[in-house]
Structure 1
Amino acid sequence: MHDYTEDDVKRALGALANGASIRKASREFGIPPATLFNRKSGTVPHRQASKGQQRLTPAQEEQLCGWIYVQDALGLRPTAPQVKVIATTLLRASGDDRPLGKHWLDGFLRRNPSVKLHKVRGPDSKSLDPKPVVDVDVDALSEPPAHVI
């Protein structure tokens, strides 16, 4: 993983537009020269280019986050399998019957950092198969859309 943000890249591209060399902007903003060269040439960031490969649309992911937010507000912390069931339901409603991949939840959590995966603690921690649960950082979420509730 890299140590620079999209804002760093934008500032470096601004410096290039003002006459700085790729090498100088690379050192100044901590971005690999190849990345700056490619972005200056019009290459789209990976996250943006791969949006078409995501199973859920951004609107569906927003709905799923809203559902998690509501469940958490009700004190019903959803488990990872429950989140996958709701995601599959959203996909089927849009005509997609393919199952989610085994790493889909990891990608969902990476794209939605306000939703965190935790393991159950307390009395359930003594069970042989502790079930992971999804926890929501309420401060990082906005109110869910009315149609989600």
Structure 2
Amino acid sequence: MLSASHFRDRVFRSQSAACNTSLFSHSHSRPGKYKPWDDDCMQKALQAVKLDGASVRKAAMEYGVPRSTLGDRVSGRVTHGILSGPPKYLSEEDEDELVRFILGCASVGYPKTRKEILSLVQTQVEKPISHGWWDSFCKRHPNLTFRTPAPLSIARATAVDEDAIGRYFDLLERTLEDNGLLEKPCQIFNMDETGMPLSPQSPKCVFTRGEKNPVNIDGGDKAQITVVACVSAAGYCIPPMVIWDRKKLSLELTAGEVPGTFYGLSDKGWMDQELFDACLSCHFLRYAPPTRPLL
């Protein structure tokens, strides 16, 4: 068994006695302007003026369309058939392709922000994109929604697949049976770590509506504080391990600690092989029950 002196400068034990614990943007937008007339009626009114010689006033009254709107089309100031509102910089085919690209990136863990999407669209058009285009784009594609993704390291994203998970549970079942642990919850422990990033929260990204677990794969190189918890199937808790992103441990970092907390230090607050070995040999075995085997 490795001794505490082996990890002399990287791990520290709490000075308080340990005790066991049982486990028990809302945005405002202007209302849209909808034309209160029918396209067919406007077309008939135009024909009445241009082909039959009717006055704009008479044709507007007969077909129930605004006189000024009809006048704009008769004079050529407005071309009939052109939609009002923010311009559609992309064709329907291009927009559909853009949506497939956005959702495709999100599905593999690399979602796009609003800013990234607008920058991409801007490279495909000559005129600057108006502020209203994005809102109109989202209305045309209601399957898109904003979510704040959870960060996921590349190592975790590439290490787990359906086959690996199946093999894990097969091995777990055999191990429990071979060691007679199926009905011994006091000897079965689960250890897990949670990283709390020190950098600002990930920006909101675009996902398909209804996505349950949106993630954003990163390089896993951002600083964080890591907390390692270990609990038996019977509810017996080993005091936690906390890993800080620094070279030295100051006393103020231990304020409000759980009695018996074990501390580790690393450059960016991540668990590594040496700290994991220290956690098992110098901390877990110190508080684990003496009965063997332990899983």
TM-score, structure 1 as length reference: 0.49
Higher strand share: 2
Answer with 1 or 2: which has the greater Rg: 2
Normalised by the size of structure 2, how large is the TM-score? 0.29
**Which protein has the bigger helix share?**
1
